[in-house]
A and B are shown apart, each in its own frame.
Chain A
């Protein structure tokens, strides 16, 4: 099983992407897509720099993505309001430091995509001294609120999803 189907998840995603691209569920496309979904992960297995992804709790992931979606829509309207009505000179755009506990590369990738997709915040980098994230906030009112939000609402579920099996 492990040898012939190294990553069922990426196979499933590839298969669905193939069917969506072709917009068809004909048997021919089902078969061709299945062949590609089986072959591509096998051929690219050696290119993976990190151990294969294991999702510990898909349900937590769904809830996290839904929460992030709501947050994205909410911040979209916030940023629109600031652009339209606020005085640009009065904006408090700042870099802040957020200490991180998350170390899994897949988890960090997901966290950075979610934070960068949310308008009003841009992830700059993980600072070389210590494991701290440099984050740029469009209109900063309360630094501690941002740190708490990212730690509890984003980082905690991601640690649950990606690092569950690795912690003592």
Chain B
């Protein structure tokens, strides 16, 4: 807590703003996971968490530690690069698995058939 008290005002304001914004975005993402009815809609909730939510928190961390330690602390960039390279692959794999699982199980009401791209095997 003492370290945080030494932060000058000009740095504290953006750090706090970014932390609040990032926290709010993460909360909204979790809320989406809870509120949305189908799997194919729920997958879009966490997407805002890993992009803007994580981005805001990482930028806040960079400003905070750079100012406190009086040297550029930018290794958070590596975290964001790793997130941007891995999260899309996970989303793609989960989506594909869900689509083919629903098609094989013959479920009609999950949303996998919306938009006339995928059909049940028997209808082909």
On whether the beta carbons of B115 and A95 are closer than 8 Å, the reply is: yes
CB distance from B12 to the nearest CB of A (A): 23
On whether the beta carbons of B31 and A83 are closer than 8 Å, the reply is: yes
Answer yes or no: A61 CB below 8 A from chain B CBs.
no
Number of residues on chain B facing chain A (CB within 8 A): 40
Q: Which of A76, A84, A94, A123 contacts B114 (CB 8 A)?
A: A94
> Which residues of A sit under 8 angstroms from B17, Cβ to Cβ?
none
Answer yes or no: A102 CB below 8 A from chain B CBs.
no
CB distance from A26 to the nearest CB of B (A): 13
Interface flags, B11-43, vs A, CB<8A=1, else 0? 000000000000001001101100111101101
> Which residues of A sit under 8 angstroms from B115, Cβ to Cβ?
94-96, 140
Interface flags, A70-81, vs B, CB<8A=1, else 0? 001100100110
Given the interface pairs A23-B73, A94-B115, the reply to whether A76 lies near B88 with Cβ below 8 Å is no
Q: Which of A17, A83, A113, A127 contacts B35 (CB 8 A)?
A: A83
Q: Which residues on B are within 8 Å of A, measured CB to CB? A: 25, 28-29, 31-32, 35-38, 40-41, 43-45, 47-48, 51-52, 73-75, 77-78, 84-85, 87-89, 91-92, 95-96, 99, 111-112, 114-118
Q: Which residues on A are within 8 Å of B, measured CB to CB? A: 17, 20-21, 23, 72-73, 76, 79-80, 83-84, 88-89, 91, 93-97, 112-113, 115-120, 122-125, 127, 134, 136, 138, 140
